[in-house]
Every structure is written in structure tokens, then in C-alpha cells.
Amino acid sequence: MPRLTQSDLKSLNQNFEERTPFELLQWAHQIFGERLAFLTAMQKTGTVISHMIKHLNLPVTVLFVDTGVNFQETLETRDRLISEYKLNVRTLHPELTMREQTEKHGILYLTPEGQATCCHTRKVEPLRKIAGEYDGFIGSLRRAEGGRRGKTPILSIDKEMNALRVNALANFSDEELEAYTEEHNVIVNPLHSQGFTTIGCNRCTTPVMPGEPPRAGRWRHLGPWSMYCGINPTDVSDTDQEYIELPQDVIDRVLGIENDFMI
Ligand code: SF4
């Protein structure tokens, strides 16, 4: 099967710096069609992209991993995307309930090693189970979030899912995010107005104090070594030496043989 590497995407990524999120979403749909999905944890960035998908009327499946210990507000936000935006939301689940996992392995999230196992089991594995069903995943990582995300490419390969990630909001600023949300009255997870700058499982996420870094509320009990769950590959590893395998016609479309389209 033909291979696609991160370096193959270099000039396309440079070119795409000028594209708007709407243009990137349309490009992704044009390239991948029904083999495109959008992965979201129901944070504000996710509901903004959901609104854009609705606005563009793109038939994109929205993927949500229900770890079994999400906040009720997060589940209600997902349900609003279904009822109000009429989006096709597909909820993925881990194999074990949290109760079953705890009976079997104890409370994993209390140590850095356990957190890595718990996040892998409850977030990464449910997604990996559907590897092969999609060639493209829209993501909502933004460089403005800082840390490793400060260098998020617009297009990045995802070796585990053998797919291309399209980070449509990579260069969307905080101001642009707020302006879009306000202008379009986007559905927003109510936890954001309760001091949660980012949102994960209820066991491992707290609000942040004024002046704290935005991700200070994630795994606060573990310290700064546990900053990401691993569901987004660019958060946890460099993809320079990796490749994905896609049909030649898909790679040709991605690399621009047919991508000179304008809105
Ligand atoms: S965020 Fe916490 S509870 Fe959720 S999967 Fe990771 S370690 Fe487990």
C-alpha cells in the first residue's frame, strides 16, 4: 500500500496556513468523503467545529469517547449536538465500566503510570478499535493552547489510526474562537463557565484559578508530568519517522493533484 509521511505534507501544510477553518473542513470532506470523521471531547473548540460542520451541511460523523466517567454536562452537550445541530454523533465506549476496571485493577488514575494505563484503556483503545473505518479525522487542537500544541501542524499523520488528522483550528486564536462562539451563539459545555478551561473525565479534571495555565486543571493531583491522555498523537510523540498507508488515489488527492479548489 502506498505510504504518506509527515514530510510529504510539508509544502501542503505551508500552503494551508492561509486557509480558513471552513475551507479546511470543506477540503477534508472533498478528499475523504464518508471516510472522514470528527473527534471531539465536547469542549468549546469541539462545539465550534460542530457548528461549522452544521453550517456547511457536511455529512461528517462526530466521534465521542464516553469514558464512563465524563461530566454530566459533557454528555448533555453531546446530546444537544444531536438534537439541535442534527449531527450524527457516534459514541465509543471502553470495554470495561469504571467499576469493573477498578475491581480488576484498583484506582488507576492515582499514579502517573496508572493514569497512562487508564487513559489508554478508556480513551485510546475505544478509538483504535475502529481503526480502518476512516482515512481522515478532523481534530480541534489549537496552537494557542501552548505546550506541545504550540507546534500543531494543520495536517498530521496518525500512525495508530492509519489516517490523516486535519487540525482545522490549528491557527485559530483565542479571540477568533470567542468571536465565533458569540457571533453564532454556539452550544458551549456549561463547565467552561464554571472555571474549567479544558474538560476531561470527572475524576481527573478541575477548574483552574485565575493566572494558572489553561491545562493546570488536568491531572492536577499528579503534577505536570501527565499533561495529555494520548488520544491525539501529536501531543505525545513526533511523527517525523512514521508513515500511514492509504490508497494511491487518496494520497494523490491529499497531495494536491486534485486539491486546487477554492471556496
Ligand atoms: S482522564 Fe483520568 S479517569 Fe479519564 S481515562 Fe484518563 S486517567 Fe482515567
Where residue 58 sits, what CATH number does that domain have?
3.40.50.620
Ligand 1 pocket check for 122: Cβ under 6 Å: yes
Q: Which atom of ligand 1 is nearest to the CA of 202?
A: 3
Residue 204: active-site member: no
Q: Which atom of ligand 1 is nearest to the CA of 123?
A: 5
- Flag whether 127 is in a domain: yes
The whole-angstrom separation of Cα 88 and Cα 45 is 18
pTM of structure: 0.93
The whole-angstrom separation of Cα 61 and Cα 134 is 10
> How far, in Å, from the CA of 2 to the mean position of ligand 1?
36
Residue whose Cα lies nearest atom 8 of ligand 1: it is: 118
Looking at every residue in the chain, the average pLDDT score rounds to 93
The pLDDT of residue 263 is: 44
The whole-angstrom separation of Cα 203 and Cα 161 is 27
Ligand 1 pocket check for 217: Cβ under 6 Å: no
Ligand 1 pocket check for 231: Cβ under 6 Å: no
- Flag whether 214 is in a domain: no
- Flag whether 217 is in a domain: no
The whole-angstrom separation of Cα 39 and Cα 164 is 12
CA distances (Å), origin 233, targets 39, 149, 152, 155, 167:
13, 11, 10, 12, 12
The catalytically annotated residue of 118, 119, 201, 229 is: 229
> How far, in Å, from the CA of 175 to the mean position of ligand 1?
30
- Flag whether 202 is in a domain: no
Domain total for the chain? 1
- Give the model's confidence band at 257: pLDDT under 50 very low, under 70 low, under 90 confident, else very high: low
- Flag whether 143 is in a domain: yes
Name the residue with cell 498523537.
233
- Flag whether 229 is in a domain: no
Ligand 1 pocket check for 229: Cβ under 6 Å: yes
Q: Which of 165-174, 212-221, 237-246 tops mean pLDDT?
A: 165-174
The pLDDT of residue 100 is: 98
The pLDDT of residue 241 is: 74
Interhelix angle 72-83/44-56, rounded to 10 degrees, is: 10
- Give the model's confidence band at 225: pLDDT under 50 very low, under 70 low, under 90 confident, else very high: low
Ligand 1 pocket check for 119: Cβ under 6 Å: yes
Residue 241: other Cβ atoms inside 10 A = 10
Ligand 1 pocket check for 218: Cβ under 6 Å: no
> How far, in Å, from the CA of 117 to the mean position of ligand 1?
9
Q: Which atom of ligand 1 is nearest to the CA of 205?
A: 1
- Flag whether 51 is in a domain: yes
The pLDDT of residue 58 is: 98
Segment 27-85, tens digit of pLDDT: 999 999 999 999 999 999 999 999 999 999 999 999 999 999 999 999 999 999 999 99
The boundaries of the domain holding residue 134 are 3-189+237-254
Specify which residues 158 forms β-bridges with: 163
- Flag whether 230 is in a domain: no
SS (H, E, C) the chain: CCEEECHHHHHHHHHHCCCCHHHHHHHHHHHHHHHEEEECCCCHHHHHHHHHHHHHCCCCEEEEECCCCECHHHHHHHHHHHHCCCCCEEEECCCCCHHHHHHHHCCHHHCHHHHHHHHHHHHHHHHHCCCCCCCEEEECCCHHHCHHHHHCCCEEEECCCCEEEEECCCCCCHHHHHHHHHHCCCCCCHHHHHCCCCCCECCCECCCCCCCCHHHHECHHHCCCCCCCCCCHHHHCCCCCCEEECCHHHHHHHCCCCCCCCC
